[in-house]
Amino acid sequence: MQRNYIIIKPFKSMGVAILLTVFFGPLGLFYASVGGALLAILSPLIAVWQYEKGMISEGNIDQFLLLYFLLVWPFSIFWSIISVWSYNYRIKKEIREEHEVTCNDFQNQEATSNNFVSDWLKDNPGKSINDYFAKHHD
């Protein structure tokens, strides 16, 4: 007998994503988008590295970091919203596609099963459909 397995991927919570990025900024973005969080975290590290190497002056690094926190923090919130929405949309799409396949398979199986039932009833006069299902199904 064939067993059907259902793989369930949990949805991500939009509220949790927003709260994490509001309180933790780019670190909170890890919940919604690992790649986005890495990009948001590594960008100021590159600037600090350039400052340490003498490529950026002291006044410019302060301005860059201030601008970073004023722009990247809100952008992280926006990015988390888009990432969670996109993730949940993909999950819903997979569920819809799987449901369509399952329904189509069931309809095909039902049509084939009806042919077997009618043939069985012809071959077994005096028996009912209940006898067929009692014999052929668990």
Query: What are the mean pLDDT values of the chain's consecutive 10-residue runs (138 residues total)?
Result: 68 94 93 92 78 71 78 92 94 79 53 64 76 65
pTM of the model as a whole: 0.60
Owner of token pair 């028996």: 127
Query: Residue 9 falls within a domain, yes or no?
Result: no
pLDDT digits (tens, 9 = 90+) for 85-124: 999 999 888 878 776 655 555 555 555 555 666 776 778 7
- State how many domains the chain has: 1
Kindly state whether residue 130 falls inside one of the protein's structural domains.
yes
Task: Show the DSSP H helices in the chain as ranges.
Answer: 14-24, 34-52, 58-123, 129-136
* 74 part of a folded domain: yes
Note whether residue 3 is domain-resident: no
Q: Which domain holds residue 113?
A: 14-136
- Residue-wise burial string across 105-122, b where 16 or more C-beta atoms lie within 10 A, e elsewhere: eeeeeeeeeeeeeeeeee
DSSP 93-118: HHHHHHHHHHHHHHHHHHHHHHHHHH
Q: What pLDDT shows up at residue 33?
A: 92
